[in-house]
Structure 1
Amino acid sequence: MMKVQKGDVIRLHYTGKVKETGEIFDTTHEDVAKAAGIYNEKGIYGPVPIAVGAGHVLNGLDEQLEGLEVGEKYEIIVPPEKGFGKRDPKLIKTFTLGQFRRQGIYPFPGMPIEIETESGRKLKGRVLTVSGGRVRVDFNHPYAGKHLVYEVEVIEKIEDPIEKVKALIELRMPNVDKEKVIIEVGEKDVTVDFGQLLDEIDKNTLVLGEILLESDLKFIGYEEITFKPSVEELLKPPEEKAEVVELEEEVSEPLVEKAEETPEAEKKAEEPAEETEEAPEEKTEEPEEVSEEKEETKEKAGEEAKAEEAKEETEEKKPKKKTTRRSTKGRKTRRTTTRKTTSKKKTKAAEEKKEGAKEE
């Protein structure tokens, strides 16, 4: 027969009672729980997997599992100091009845209550007496000072390394499908991959499970433990929003530059168009005859052109505006009109001279 040693992973059936009263307060048997009135619909019944000596059960029971044989039934007595502790008189407190009634609570003997201390710690207690406007509450554990009796049976001693890891996962995360967990074990290292279960397990539950599981795996002898995903990866905040912002910044910058360049491009596009429009206006046909009046007109036109050029040079130093180009165009048109008017006057004068000569 195999005997249980510290560090072994086993499956254990047990039922715990209070020696003084025979009250059953804990069990792994579903039928016993129902008979005792402590059945929990959300509870998981059946042999519980534990690592002997790791503190997975009450200390007084854990210590006495060593040396037991697999398949045998035993009765183990746990003294108060190794069970739920001795009763502490300091944990019995007295309150006024008004303190309860102001919160809508009407206490009575045996009533379970819970209060929160100034430090935020929650204490569970039980009302002992209610008299004279005073309420005495005991915050000791209900089984403090009691001797406990455990009926135990070691169902199995697990030898296979991978099955040991699965058993500990079952202990810490009983609702997880162990068959979807990928486990790789070496002599002193182990890798546990929960990747296929990420959509099935709450992240916080997985984080807590990995922290507790790491402690258990170290206890049974593994030195290097790797989880996929790791606790750090599970706790890392999502970066999707940050990536979107960065992408928007990268796209928006070139668009801004392009928008800023557009006015200059429009100016360049406009300049050749204006020159093209002005070019035909400068080509003005004049009579072949050149008289003194024509030369004077040309000189005046030249002086006006120089004045206009000087003015344009001054205006070019200033920021270019579309209004400046329009005014320049207007001036050139006026000059052309002057030239045409002068030519008509000269032609008319020549005709009058010819008519005068014929009359003579």
Structure 2
Amino acid sequence: MKVNRGDVIRINYTGRVKETGEIFDTTYEDVAKEAGIYNPKGVYGPVPIAVGAGHVIPGLDKRLIGLEVGKKYTIEVPPEEGFGLRDPKLIKVFTIGQFKKQGIIPFPGLEVEVTTESGRKMKGRIITVSGGRVRVDFNHPLAGKTLVYEVEIVEKIEDPIEKIKALIELRLPMIDKDKLIIEVGEKEVRVEFNDQNIDSRTLILGEILLESDIKFLGYEKVEFKPSIEELLKPKQEQEEQTKETKETKEESAIEKSTEENKPNEE
């Protein structure tokens, strides 16, 4: 079974820098611990992606097409298809005073967030501190690097509802999937999240990304409950609406029970 563009699959992978062998990303918990990149809040195990949707870097994404499920591969990605080439213009010079005003003592290797004159915030890494000047590199740490991925195609998901669940797992891994109600039609998808213990801002961002992902699969209409519009309402208004919905459901259940238990009249 081969992988095609638009397929929803699960993959395991480990990414290394070709020149040094340094591991920078992996789905294996034990590998992450050995490499010193383990994140206690991270989610490890086969990751779901939609092939061609940009869930992984472009050079890896396009090279997944044509691979076979159940097999392992070594894939090399050049810099221009990974995190880009290094741009000398992204190396900026600041004064030490600019950092000290923010309570930062600059030293090589320190990762910093700098606000430019235009008000834009940029993350970079200090590369030198000399003569009262601080040079900061705003290139991605992997820019200019050739990357090597060891990839295993674990599964190709065929069931439409399981595809949607997989995309939700990708975008909102903290969601309780047992509470989800998913309806999939020929051209439309409806997802009801119900009482999830999740920040509304996180859910809003997740819904925005999910809508794009689901439409990539070919669906034309995507509906969420609660919708983004509902989540943007003031918290008190949200709570009142949730209470009304709950009361309506309870009333409907009582009416149904009463109707079912009503004695037959001859």
Q: Kindly state the Cα deviation for residue 211 of structure 1 after the two structures are TM-superposed.
A: 1.3
Identity of aligned residues (%): 74
TM-score normalised per structure 2? 0.85
**One-letter code of the match for 1:184?**
E
Superposition map of 1:1-360 within 5 A = 2-195=1-194, 197-198=195-196, 200-237=197-234, 238-239=236-237
Q: Give the Cα separation in 1 of the matches to 2:103 and 2:225.
A: 49
More helix by share: 1
**One-letter code of the match for 1:215?**
S
Q: Kindly state the Cα deviation for residue 114 of structure 1 after the two structures are TM-superposed.
A: 1.6
Runs of 4+ in 1 over 6 A off after TM superposition: none
**One-letter code of the match for 1:29?**
Y
Matched position secondary structure for 2:154: strand
Q: Give the Cα separation in 2 of the matches to 1:84 and 1:31.
A: 25
Q: Kindly state the Cα deviation for residue 66 of structure 1 after the two structures are TM-superposed.
A: 0.4
Q: Give the Cα separation in 2 of the matches to 1:170 and 1:101.
A: 42
Q: Write the deviation string for residues 137-191 of structure 1: whole angstroms up to 9, x where unpaired.
A: 1111111111011110110000011111111110111011112101111111111
Q: Give the Cα separation in 2 of the matches to 1:232 and 1:16.
A: 39
Q: Kindly state the Cα deviation for residue 118 of structure 1 after the two structures are TM-superposed.
A: 3.2
Q: Kindly state the Cα deviation for residue 124 of structure 1 after the two structures are TM-superposed.
A: 1.4
The answer to which structure, 1 or 2, has the higher relative contact order (CA under 8 A, 6+ apart) is: 2
- Report how many residues are paired: 239
Distance 1:118 1:131, change over 3 A: closer
Q: Kindly state the Cα deviation for residue 44 of structure 1 after the two structures are TM-superposed.
A: 0.3
Q: Kindly state the Cα deviation for residue 205 of structure 1 after the two structures are TM-superposed.
A: 1.8
Could you say which structure has the larger radius of gyration?
A: 1
Q: Kindly state the Cα deviation for residue 135 of structure 1 after the two structures are TM-superposed.
A: 1.9
Q: Write the deviation string for residues 104-139 of structure 1: whole angstroms up to 9, x where unpaired.
A: 332222222221123332211122222222222111
Gaps (5+ residues) in structure 2? Answer: 241-266
Q: Give the Cα separation in 1 of the matches to 2:109 and 2:233.
A: 46
More strand by share: 2
